[in-house]
Amino acid sequence: MIGKKIVRAAVLALAVAAPMAVATGTAHAAPGSDLDLTKCKIVDDPVNYGDGIDWYKLEYTYVNEGTAPTGAFTLRVRPVYGVDQFSGTVKNEAHVEQGAGSLNPGQSRSGFYWLTKKVVDDRTWGMFLDVKKVTGETPQQQQDSFCSAFVDNT
């Protein structure tokens, strides 16, 4: 019962605190877009919110290092357990999947997501850009479009 409450709290925190990316038009992906996660850092939040949860933040920045707009894409932040995030396989775990508007060449976005201490300590977190593979990135370009406790592509 307590485990379910913690998972629900984590899902709620991710859903409420996740910054919403707004599409900036109807730009479509073209050859030459290249998403890169340039910052992926876990930071302890020292504030006691009185909810009994020790909160951390996953701070991020991603940029289009390519020569063409990315088009709108989907990103995912979630605990990870060795599942290939780009396959679209999602098990019964807390996660946030949201749409992100197109990025022009050189444009970036920054923000953060809330994580619990347990997720950080268990090293079960990750952030994955373009999980539906719509930006036209090559497999080589996709290698810097994610980060986790085990892989830091920044």
C-alpha 66/C-alpha 57 separation (Å) is 28
Structural domain range at position 57: 2-148
What is each CA distance from 102 to 18, 19, 26, 66, in whole angstroms? 18, 15, 8, 12
CATH number, residue 38? 2.60.40.10
C-alpha 134/C-alpha 123 separation (Å) is 28
Blockwise average pLDDT, block size 10, the chain, 154 residues: 44 43 43 91 95 93 95 84 48 73 96 89 88 89 88 76
Residue 153 lies in a domain: no
Q: Are 128 and 89 in contact (CB under 8 A)?
A: no
Residue 48 lies in a domain: yes
Please tell me the pTM assigned to this model.
Answer: 0.73
Residue 61 lies in a domain: yes
* pLDDT computed for residue 93 by the predictor: 55
Of 98, 85, 86, 103, give the one whose Cα is nearest residue 33: 103
Count of the separate structural domains present in the chain = 1
Residue 58 lies in a domain: yes
